[in-house]
Amino acid sequence: MNWIFRKAMQIYAHGKNRRKGTEMKGLYAYFAYGSNLLPERLFQRCPTAVPYAPAILPNYRLTERLYADVDYAPGEQVHGFVYLLRAHDVARLDRYEGYPQIYLRYTVDVILDDGTELPALIYEMTPKTKEIRNGLPYPEEYRKICREGANLHRIKNHFIRKWRRK
């Protein structure tokens, strides 16, 4: 485990990263819901990312299309995790996610555990990608990575059928 991951998890565990106001200046909240739930995976793509908080993306559902995707679905919700990213990490993540050819990036409001709404970046597959990949199952290794990340953050989603907070 690298030192950035250890430090970020230490900050998350002690709640020091939940300050509001100017501390967020220059940072972007990013809502992870697939393989980027696993910090080691996200840190490979965004080395200066900082874990922030579990969150819910309201009015969307998690969809299996070879890789994780979200669809607008009133009344449903996606459980995920918010990381804080610097602009250069957003640019790196854009490249990794294939923005704008494979995934589009949007800013939406997510809801933190305390009920606070936070504008966060999400990636959603383009209509063309959705059409091509619709119905394709996750590769087992991808599902395992997503499950590991969801377990780490104690997030309930379709990667984990049975779940409870400790």
96 is in an annotated binding site: no
Active site residue 97: yes
What Å distances lie between residue 105 and 5, 41, 155, CA to CA? 25, 19, 22
On whether 13 is known to bind a ligand per the annotation, the reply is no
Q: Where are the beta strands (DSSP E) in 66-148?
A: 67-85, 103-112, 117-125
Per the residue annotation, which of 76, 97, 131, 141 is the catalytic one?
97
Distance CA 114, CA 20 (A): 13
How far is 8 from 32, CA to CA, in rounded Å?
A: 16
Flag whether 34 is marked binding: yes
Q: Which of 152, 93, 160 is nearest to 120 (CA)?
A: 93
Contacts of 58 (CB under 8 A, 6+ apart): 77, 109, 110, 111
**Is residue 30 marked as binding?**
yes
> How buried is 73 (Cβ within 10 angstroms: 0-12 exposed, 13-18 middle, 19+ buried)?
middle
> Annotated binding residues for substrate, as ranges?
30-35
Looking at the annotation, which residues are catalytic?
97
> Annotated binding residues, as ranges?
30-35
